[in-house]
Amino acid sequence: MNGRSLNILGLVLVSVTGLAFMLLTPQLAELDTVLDLTVYMIMAVLALSLALIWGFGGILCFGQSAFFGLGAYTYAIAMFNIGESTLPFLLAIILPAAFAALLGYFMFYGRISDVYLGVITLTVTLILFNSVNSTAGPEFHIGTARLGGFNGIPGIPPLNWPFNKTAAIDLEGMFYLATGSLLATYFGLRLLLASQFGRIIVGIRENERRAELLGYDPRAYKLATFTIGGALAGFAGCLFANWGNFVSPTIFGLAQSAQIIIWVIVGGRGTLIGPVIGCIGIQWLSAALGANQPSGGSDLWSKIFANAPLILGVILIAFVLLVPKGLVPTLGDIGLSLVRRRRAREQRGFEPQQAE
Amino acid sequence: MSMHRRTFLTGTAAAIAAGALSYPALAEDPIGVASIHDLSGGLDIYGKPMVDALTLAIEEANAAGGLLGRQLKLINYDTQSNMQLYTQFAQQAALKDKVAVVHGGITSASREVIRPVLDRFKTLYFYNTQYEGGVCDRNQFDTGVTPAQTVEKLVPYAMKKWGKKVYVVAADYNYGQITSQWVKKYVLENGGEVPSIDFFPLDVTNFGPTISKIQAAKPDFVWSALVGGAHISFYRQWAAAGMRASIPMASTTFAVGNEHIVLSPEECNGMLICYNYFQDLKNPVNEAFVASFHKRFGADYPNITELAMGTYQGFRLWAEAVKKAGSVDRMKVIEALETGISIDAPSGKVTIDPPTHHCVLDVHIAEVSDKKLKVLQDFAQQKPADTAAVCDLIKNPTDNQQYVIKI
Amino acid sequence: MDLVALLAIQVLYAVASLALISVGLAIIFGMMRVINLAHGEFLMLGGYAAIVATSHGISIWVAMLVVAPIVVGLIGIIVERAIIRFLYGRMIDTMLATWGLSLFLVGLTTAIFGNTTVGISAPLGSIQIGAYRTSAYTLFVIAIAIAVLGAIFAVMRWTRLGLIARGTMQNADMAAALGVNPPRVYAVTFGVGAALSGLAGAVLAPVSGVFPTIGVAYVAKSFITVIGGGAAILSGTVSASALFGTINQIATFVTTPVFGEVALLAAAIVLIRLLPQGITGRFFRRGL
């Protein structure tokens, strides 16, 4: 078995388990599990958006939450003003994408790179956080939607079937929508990455100068990648605003942007399934750490085990030090080396080993 | 840790019993009470005492034989100051744990996240924090004080003591915005003036320019509606600039997060505050409560806060209604609460106001004095007049929104 | 006129505190190309060290100026030995690891100290400027910032340690070939950077207070200052602090603190767009 057939096997595996998961979960699981899974699926779309631009495009974006939050706010504000969700839904994708394109133009055509990119994107999301956070007064409103400042916007109306205001999507429908979106995003990105465009952006990540000398304009390709990532994050934001019927400025905050990066690093840069697994795993873990709190306990150990940031911090350090490539690539390496070793044993080294 | 594992195991067992068998509750099943508060992250300073008070209230009830012959079980969620977890845990409490009541939410934002979830899944909800007022929802009860109950008393008191020109500094969010409007209204009604209201996002720590602005305005006193850990630096910088001696301060947010203990006496002595509960209230119910609280959590417990008492009283009101209804069924308990249930709480008599689902309760004005809060004057049985102006759940039981009260 | 004088002091204070909170990060970044996202927590630990020391009866000045830097410096060396040294040359990975460290330290301090920590109040009382009063401690913070920057300048310019440090900074391989031991230089550098952060955290503790999550308030600002300043430690920090501090403070006074923050951040974006290598990438290139 070589890398390519492993790849196809993976693809089949993902599509079968993904479809089975989507169809069976609502039949088998309790409603609260379905609701939790819905938000994990939505966040996984967000994780994929960063997986594309950072893992494959090599663009370190510390402010992916900016597009996520813009998507959520755009949907909320448009929904209060329009009342029918088709246009708000589209706006929640187009506006973040346009914003990403603008920001990307500013950065890539200014030849800003690596860590400075990180700083600019981080700063942008902090500006959004600060600005939206200070809109508590009644004078801050867009149309009929009050921005609400720190408290955010509660009671956001849910999505409906396109052009049919009366057919709102219910909780189970939301699960199908979120899971379907995740699968569609995943396979869409697989296709994109298998195309010529995908090859070129990976080439640019590996060696920007060489790609440029071969006649590709890295700035344009990075801009396109960044814009697609922004659109995806905005889409996830729209779904998120639907899931909780609520959006607040913390969506732009440092903690949120940081979380997205953790998902990708834990799952593995340069893969798509990795960030999805990382995202779901970390989300599940922080929810599990927050539930079942001992009450009134006062000894230090129980305080430490009940302390979510502490445990997440340790996980992050451990991953960077011990599993720097992330879960999926590391497991893949282990799997491949096992296969190779077995094959090597079978062939007793008569053939020269191939590099790949 | 052994305690932790045991609660976890019984929790799992209860979940299996409730979920897999889905029998109607057996008599020996414990009654689930969910707590959803921030126990880590920036807001834990408020959440920790609330959960401690709820823990004590439940342990007391269990020691007295439980409710309706059943024991009570606290299911404690830490939302880590993260809004997304509020939604998730409210869903879990309602659907998985199938609790009889949820106590929780600290900021108004977190309440507005929980409220629709619990409405949708028909689970009774108690919000026990002082807030800006105006929530009108038959599924929710509010045991905290609102501006009409405290600001109305403290403004004239402070104006009589210090003078008529009041400079307002407030946290830049819903609560701060609305409270400062109430302050302005009462100052004007009492013949005073408000030269300026300044708002600060919750993470601002540098107040130097503002302190200069206040000095330029020369007010008789400053009203603070600042909130949270970062804003404590305002009081420090104010005192360090030598202003405390010349311009006094009043507040209905100070000390809720134990600011008077974090700060030194020189930084905040003499500040006037107004709440429903103070640890040093002199009455037998409170003295017994403080004694058992200290027995449970240690005599060095910093201070039993207003929010902790709100939570304790919220639980007691609910328990009283369950007894009256003879059931933990949501509608029966709501109807029992709507008869105007009343308890003798450590803060005095607390009664549910049926039309608003808020509380009629005593408020007290106190002065910060050497890390203690010295009670100066009592005002018996204050009604939630602000919410009552917009909300009548007896007339409109299906009303469900937070009103912005016209001031 | 008094108001102008007062404003001038506040602008100076904003610049000084920005420089103080950034200089530790700038040293670590400038010398080692490591971006320490646990920087805010180093400041926070400095504050706690000062508080604990004061509550054990140590004079507040000793607690702030001696105990805090030593404690946090030692923590810094431990962190460098336990985590950072495995990650040299992997800038993104160090950012992630130090960010994990930041979460860990926040969690640990919450578990140990809880949320209600008695603070220390600013010593020195207040001073009168015409009709206005302001804290004398403000002037002390400005003085400390000048002293710290002056000391760094002196060490870098005139001592052997400074020479080695500058050499390693310019070309680590060459320095190693000449007999310098880069791992030791890195450990010392990280320790010094951490110690300066501890000092800054302790000095600002009486102004801003101390609680486990205060690091967040510092880290983004110092991060932006350091990147905005560019690679040269001293001139970079000073010029970026002067620019951002002045913009922030004047915008705050004229409008509100929110717009003060937004103005600072927007200035940073424009600056990085115009000077992608930071201020010292274009100006003061021969500075330290």
**Mean pLDDT score of chain A, rounded to an integer?**
84
pLDDT-wise least confident of A314-318, B15-19, B158-162: B15-19
**Nearest CB neighbour to C107, from listed A114, A262, A310:** A310
**B134 to chain A: which residues are within 8 Å by CB?**
none
DSSP SS3 for C129: strand
Cβ–Cβ contact B301 with C under 8 A: no
What confidence tens digit (pLDDT) does each residue in B167-214 have? Answer: 999 988 888 888 898 999 999 999 989 998 988 887 777 787 788 888
pLDDT higher at A290 or A333 = A333
Q: Is residue C263 part of a domain?
A: no
| pLDDT at res. C1 | 64
CB contact under 8 A, B215 and C131: yes
**C266 to chain A: which residues are within 8 Å by CB?**
127
**Nearest CB neighbour to A300, from listed C95, C96, C111:** C111
**C13 to chain B: which residues are within 8 Å by CB?**
208
pLDDT-based confidence at C60, cuts 50/70/90? confident
Over residues B70-81, the mean pLDDT reads: 87
| pLDDT at res. B206 | 78
| pLDDT at res. B5 | 40
Over residues B149-164, the mean pLDDT reads: 91
CB contact under 8 A, C3 and B216: yes
Q: Could you say which DSSP state residue A160 is in?
A: B
What confidence tens digit (pLDDT) does each residue in B282-305 have? Answer: 899 999 999 999 999 888 888 899
* Among the listed residues B168, B158, B159, B170, the one whose alpha carbon sits nearest the alpha carbon of residue B194: B168
C134, C139, C214, C255: best mutation site toward chain B, by most B Cβ within 10 Å? C134
What confidence tens digit (pLDDT) does each residue in C233-274 have? Answer: 778 888 888 888 888 888 877 777 777 777 877 887 787 777
**C87 to chain A: which residues are within 8 Å by CB?**
320-321
Cβ–Cβ contact C159 with A under 8 A: no
What confidence tens digit (pLDDT) does each residue in A68-90 have? Answer: 999 999 999 999 898 888 899 99
DSSP SS3 for C195: helix
pLDDT-wise least confident of A110-119, B353-362, C218-227: A110-119
| pLDDT at res. C287 | 58
| pLDDT at res. C115 | 61
pLDDT higher at B9 or A82 = A82
Alpha-carbon torsion angle A18, A23, A27, A31, nearest 10: 60
**Closest chain A residue to B53 measured between Cα atoms?**
A296
User: Is A345 buried (19+), middle (13-18) or exposed (0-12) by CB count in 10 A?
Assistant: exposed
Query: Chains with 3 or more CB pairs closer than 8 angstroms to B?
Result: A, C
pLDDT-based confidence at A92, cuts 50/70/90? very high
Q: Which residues of C touch B (CB under 8 A)?
A: 3, 6-7, 10, 13-14, 17, 107, 110, 114-122, 124-127, 131-135, 137-138, 206-209, 211, 213-214, 216-217, 249, 252-253, 256-258, 261
What confidence tens digit (pLDDT) does each residue in C33-48 have? Answer: 788 888 889 999 999 9
Over residues A305-316, the mean pLDDT reads: 75
Domain that holds residue C70: 2-117+127-214
| pLDDT at res. A303 | 62
Q: Is residue C244 part of a domain?
A: no
| pLDDT at res. C198 | 92
**Pairwise CA distance, residues A184 & B32, whole Å:** 40
CB contact under 8 A, C100 and A313: yes
pLDDT at A116 over 70: yes
* Among the listed residues C3, C209, C132, the one whose alpha carbon sits nearest the alpha carbon of residue B237: C209
Query: Chains with 3 or more CB pairs closer than 8 angstroms to A?
Result: B, C
**Nearest CB neighbour to A265, from listed C35, C86, C96:** C96
Percent of chain C having pLDDT more than 70? 92
| pLDDT at res. C282 | 64
CB contact under 8 A, A287 and B51: no
CB contact under 8 A, C121 and B204: no
pLDDT at B14 over 50: no
* Among A22-31, C10-19, C168-177, C194-203, the range of highest mean pLDDT: C194-203
- The length of chain A is 356
CB contact under 8 A, A290 and B297: no
Closest approach of chain C CAs to the CA of B327, in angstroms?
38
| pLDDT at res. A48 | 95
Over residues C196-216, the mean pLDDT reads: 84
pLDDT higher at A188 or C246 = A188
Residue with tokens 């979830």: B117
Cβ pair A79, A88 in contact under 8 A:
yes
Over residues B330-337, the mean pLDDT reads: 92
Q: Is residue A123 part of a domain?
A: yes
A133, A140, A175, A246: best mutation site toward chain B, by most B Cβ within 10 Å? A246
**Mean pLDDT score of chain C, rounded to an integer?**
81
C-alpha neighbours within 13 Å on the C-beta side of residue B154: 35
CB contact under 8 A, A316 and C99: yes
CB contact under 8 A, C258 and B201: yes
pLDDT-based confidence at A306, cuts 50/70/90? low
**C38 to chain A: which residues are within 8 Å by CB?**
none
CB contact under 8 A, C258 and A130: yes
* Among A14-23, A136-145, C246-255, the range of highest mean pLDDT: A14-23
Alpha-carbon torsion angle B120, B123, B124, B129, nearest 10: -70
Query: In sequence order, what DSSP letters do the residues of B239-251 get, joined into one string?
Result: HHTT-TTTS-EEE
pLDDT higher at C282 or C179 = C179
pLDDT at A298 over 60: no
Q: Is residue C254 part of a domain?
A: no
pLDDT at B95 over 80: yes
| pLDDT at res. B157 | 92
pLDDT higher at A49 or A9 = A49
Domain that holds residue A160: 37-251
Over residues B355-362, the mean pLDDT reads: 93
- Specify the number of domains making up chain C: 1
Supply the pTM of this predicted model. Answer: 0.82
The rounded radius of gyration (Å) of the Cα atoms in chain C is 19
Q: Which residue type is seen at C36? A: N
Residue with tokens 């448009």: A78
pLDDT higher at B326 or C249 = B326
Q: Is residue A31 part of a domain?
A: no
Cβ–Cβ contact C253 with A under 8 A: no
pLDDT higher at A14 or A309 = A14
CB contact under 8 A, B83 and A244: yes
Q: Are strands B124-127 and B101-104 parallel, antiparallel or unpaired?
A: parallel
* Among A44-48, B39-43, B172-176, C281-285, the range of highest mean pLDDT: A44-48
Q: Is residue C167 part of a domain?
A: yes
| pLDDT at res. C222 | 84
* Among the listed residues B318, C99, C237, B82, the one whose alpha carbon sits nearest the alpha carbon of residue A291: B82
**Closest chain C residue to B209 measured between Cα atoms?**
C253
pLDDT-based confidence at B56, cuts 50/70/90? very high
Please enumerate in sequence order all residues whose Cβ is within 8 A of that of B366, keeping only pairs 6 or more positions apart, or say none.
B272, B273, B274, B275, B278, B373, B374, B375, B376
**Nearest CB neighbour to B42, from listed C137, C213, C257:** C213
CB contact under 8 A, A133 and B172: yes
Query: In sequence order, what DSSP letters do the residues of B343-385 get, joined into one string?
Result: EEETTEEEEEETTTTEEEEEEEEEEEETTEEEEEEEEEEE--H
CB contact under 8 A, A310 and C100: no
Q: Is residue C72 part of a domain?
A: yes
- Specify the number of domains making up chain A: 1
Q: Is residue C195 part of a domain?
A: yes
**A245 to chain B: which residues are within 8 Å by CB?**
116
| pLDDT at res. B99 | 92
pLDDT-wise least confident of A265-279, B370-384, C67-81, C241-255: C241-255
**Range 206-225 of C in CB contact (< 8 A) with A:** 216, 220, 223-224
**A148 to chain B: which residues are within 8 Å by CB?**
174
Q: Is residue A355 part of a domain?
A: no
| pLDDT at res. A300 | 58
Q: Could you say which DSSP state residue A157 is in?
A: P
CB contact under 8 A, B236 and C119: yes
CB contact under 8 A, C132 and B215: yes
**C141 to chain B: which residues are within 8 Å by CB?**
none
**Mean pLDDT score of chain B, rounded to an integer?**
86
| pLDDT at res. C255 | 73
**Pairwise CA distance, residues A306 & B78, whole Å:** 9
Q: Is residue C274 part of a domain?
A: no
**Pairwise CA distance, residues B45 & B230, whole Å:** 12
**Closest chain A residue to C262 measured between Cα atoms?**
A127
The ipTM (two decimal places) reads: 0.78
**Closest chain B residue to C9 measured between Cα atoms?**
B208
CB contact under 8 A, A290 and B113: no
| pLDDT at res. A220 | 93
Cβ pair B37, B47 in contact under 8 A:
yes
**Closest chain A residue to B92 measured between Cα atoms?**
A32
| pLDDT at res. A329 | 84
Closest approach of chain B CAs to the CA of C206, in angstroms?
7
**Pairwise CA distance, residues A143 & A154, whole Å:** 16
**A262 to chain C: which residues are within 8 Å by CB?**
96
